[in-house]
């Protein structure tokens, strides 16, 4: 397939780039700070001097933090005007549906392909190349990058022709996790108040009614009050919650549970828990 660039080498970007290298691909990397890029260069990647240089690659993966980072890097910077026509940019970040639509239009204006491909899976899943990839965009473009998705993920979910369709699914997935954390916290608090062992309660729930990674992982973390190291911080959780609330507003809908969670997240961050795992929001519930 030729050269692949990876822009953004944070917690998720670095293992994604490393897996592409292990699969034998020619990988170019760019990151705002040098440290993560140094590690990948030592593993065989080539360093790009700038985003514009990285965008000369036929396929570009980006893994940036949020709407502002994506807009500043690709839309407002003028870099798309310097990008060869036919390049495919795959955005793996969790961004708003509104930004995804804007990005798709900006790329099309310059003849650059755009695929939204946020993922489900934390860092260990990324390291294992087992992410679930939520892809939306022109199907021919997804076909073109599918061999790369097969390297970094266990399954690609094709969710539509419009990039924002992938991002709304990712946002809603994270919204449901936040709802699950809140409901788990309430149930565990009541169980403890009644003298039930919280660890046994979680084991029972996850062995019967609610099997799966969300209830098992967060349930045990809540029962043990284990919020460090953070797999996903409270600050990031609040960002994604607001994306869900904004999307609902755009569709003239309300998310009543989301409005409750807005207050819970805001208070947790005000209490200094922003860098803890977002499961810490349950501590707003008396226990």
Query: Phi/psi of residue 64, each to 5°?
Result: -105, 175
Q: What is the DSSP letter of 71?
A: I
Residue among 107, 103, 88 nearest 149 (CA): 88
Query: Phi/psi of residue 134, each to 5°?
Result: -100, 100
Q: Cβ distance 137 to 199 under 8 Å?
A: no
Residues 41, 31: Cα–Cα separation, whole Å? 12
| 162 exposure class (CB count in 10 Å sphere: 0-12, 13-18, 19+) | middle
Q: Which residues are catalytic?
A: 170
Residue among 72, 69, 125 nearest 94 (CA): 69
Residues 194, 207: Cα–Cα separation, whole Å? 21
Helix (H, G, I), strand (E, B) or coil at 26: strand
Q: H helices within the chain, ranges in order?
A: 13-22, 34-42, 51-54, 67-70, 97-109, 123-127, 139-152, 163-193, 198-207, 213-224, 234-250, 256-270
CB burial of 71-103 (b: ≥16 within 10 Å; e: otherwise) equals bebbbeeebbeebeeebbbbbbbbbbbebbbbb
């Amino acid at each position: 397939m030729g050269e692949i660039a990876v822009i953004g080498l944070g917690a998720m970007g670095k293992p994604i780039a490393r897996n592409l290298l292990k699969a034998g691909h020619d990988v170019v990397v760019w990151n705002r700070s040098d440290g993560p890029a140094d590690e990948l260069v030592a593993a065989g990647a080539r360093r790009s001097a700038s985003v514009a240089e990285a965008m000369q690659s036929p396929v570009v993966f980006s893994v940036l933090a949020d709407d502002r980072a994506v807009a500043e890097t690709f839309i407002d910077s003028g870099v798309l005007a310097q990008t060869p026509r036919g390049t495919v940019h795959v955005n793996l970040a969790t961004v708003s549906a509104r930004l995804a639509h804007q990005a798709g239009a900006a790329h099309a204006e310059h003849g650059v392909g755009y695929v939204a491909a946020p993922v489900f899976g934390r860092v260990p899943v990324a390291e294992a190349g087992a992410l679930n990839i939520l892809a939306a965009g022109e199907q021919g473009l997804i076909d073109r990058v599918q061999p790369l998705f097969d390297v970094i993920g266990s399954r690609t979910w094709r969710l539509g022709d419009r990039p924002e369709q992938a991002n709304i699914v990712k946002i809603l997935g994270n919204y449901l996790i936040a709802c699950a954390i809140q409901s788990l916290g309430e149930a565990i608090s009541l169980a403890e108040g009644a003298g039930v062992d919280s660890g046994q309660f979680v084991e029972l729930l996850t062995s019967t009614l609610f099997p799966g990674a969300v209830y098992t992982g967060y349930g045990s973390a809540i029962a043990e009050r284990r919020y460090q190291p953070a797999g996903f911080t409270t600050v990031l959780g609040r960002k994604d919650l607001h994306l869900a609330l904004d999307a609902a507003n755009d569709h003239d809908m309300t998310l009543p549970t989301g409005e409750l969670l807005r207050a819970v997240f805001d208070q947790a961050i005000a209490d200094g828990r922003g860098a803890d795992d977002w499961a810490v929001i349950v501590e707003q519930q008396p226990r």
